[in-house]
């Protein structure tokens, strides 16, 4: 579980991001201005910061310079290449442009936390245990053999636990946009995961959309 500071002056967006973060098992807390964010960093020492670059009291680029020791994802409507380069050169871990899908933001958060070694690596779902640091899956303390594609799909479901993902999004996140296949491929691998791990109830089918892993 990571502590994530959301620096966003739009209260509705801030709240939506915070709820999404907490649904994936992390703790989110909010700041709506730059100076408030500085105080929050001093008081709470977050593991990751989501930083809007257009704040009412100071520039996000100036604020970014003061967060050298903490991974930062810039979350902003400023999509020009020059702004992205400035943010990344200024020390940002990643840069995502509004509007964006929440599952994309979640995936970027998990990637940033993995790079900073703050990401959770051990998951328990009933009698199933997944150690992502070792890429080992056990059920009742016995190793379960998964194919590489089954494991990657399980990892995506874990990274986005409690969030509904479309079949197309699962394809992209698990096997990459260059993977040749259709959404029936996802259905087949979901059935195999359910059977091998006994997760029929935990891996929910979202009618005419996709799947959600509920933990």
The pLDDT value recorded for residue 136 is 94
List the CATH number of the domain containing 172.
1.10.10.10
16 against 169, higher pLDDT = 16
Collect all residues with Cβ–Cβ distance below 8 Å to 49 and sequence separation of at least 6: 4, 5, 7, 37, 41, 67, 70, 71, 72, 73
Whether the pLDDT of residue 162 is over 70: the answer is yes
Mean pLDDT of 44-67: 91
The pLDDT value recorded for residue 24 is 81
The pLDDT value recorded for residue 181 is 67
Distance CA(51)–CA(74), nearest Å, equals: 5
The pLDDT value recorded for residue 143 is 96
The pLDDT value recorded for residue 82 is 84
Of 93, 115, 137, the one marking the end of a domain is 115
Distance CA(206)–CA(165), nearest Å, equals: 9
178 against 160, higher pLDDT = 160
Output the six-digit token pair for 134. 């070792």
* pLDDT tens figures, 65-122: 888 889 999 988 877 888 888 888 888 899 999 888 888 898 889 888 878 766 667 8
Whether the pLDDT of residue 161 is over 90: the answer is no
Q: Are residues 7 and 99 in the same domain?
A: yes
Of 115, 138, 161, the one marking the end of a domain is 115
Q: Are residues 12 and 108 in the same domain?
A: yes
Of 115, 140, 155, the one marking the end of a domain is 115
Q: Are residues 137 and 192 in the same domain?
A: yes
Whether the pLDDT of residue 167 is over 80: the answer is yes
Parent domain of 169: 122-213
Reported pTM = 0.63
């Amino acid at each position: 579980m990571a502590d994530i500071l959301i620096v966003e002056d739009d209260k509705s967006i801030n709240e939506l991001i915070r709820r999404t973060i907490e649904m994936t098992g992390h703790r989110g807390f909010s700041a709506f201005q730059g100076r408030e964010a500085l105080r929050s960093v001093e008081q709470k020492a977050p593991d990751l910061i989501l930083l809007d670059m257009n704040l009412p009291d100071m520039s996000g680029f100036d604020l970014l310079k003061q967060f050298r020791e903490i991974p930062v994802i810039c979350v902003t409507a400023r999509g020009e290449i020059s702004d992205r380069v400035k943010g990344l050169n200024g020390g940002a871990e990643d840069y995502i442009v509004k509007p964006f899908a929440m599952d994309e933001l979640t995936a970027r958060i998990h990637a940033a936390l993995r790079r900073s070694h703050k990401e959770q690596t051990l998951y328990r779902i009933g009698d199933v245990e997944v150690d992502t640091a070792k890429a080992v899956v056990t059920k009742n303390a016995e190793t379960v053999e998964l194919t590489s594609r089954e494991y990657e799909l399980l990892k995506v479901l874990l990274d986005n636990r409690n969030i509904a993902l479309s079949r197309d999004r699962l394809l992209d996140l698990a096997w990459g946009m260059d993977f040749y296949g259709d959404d029936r491929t996802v259905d087949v691998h979901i059935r195999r995961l359910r059977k091998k791990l006994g997760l029929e109830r935990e891996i929910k089918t979202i009618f005419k959309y996709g799947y959600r892993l509920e933990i």
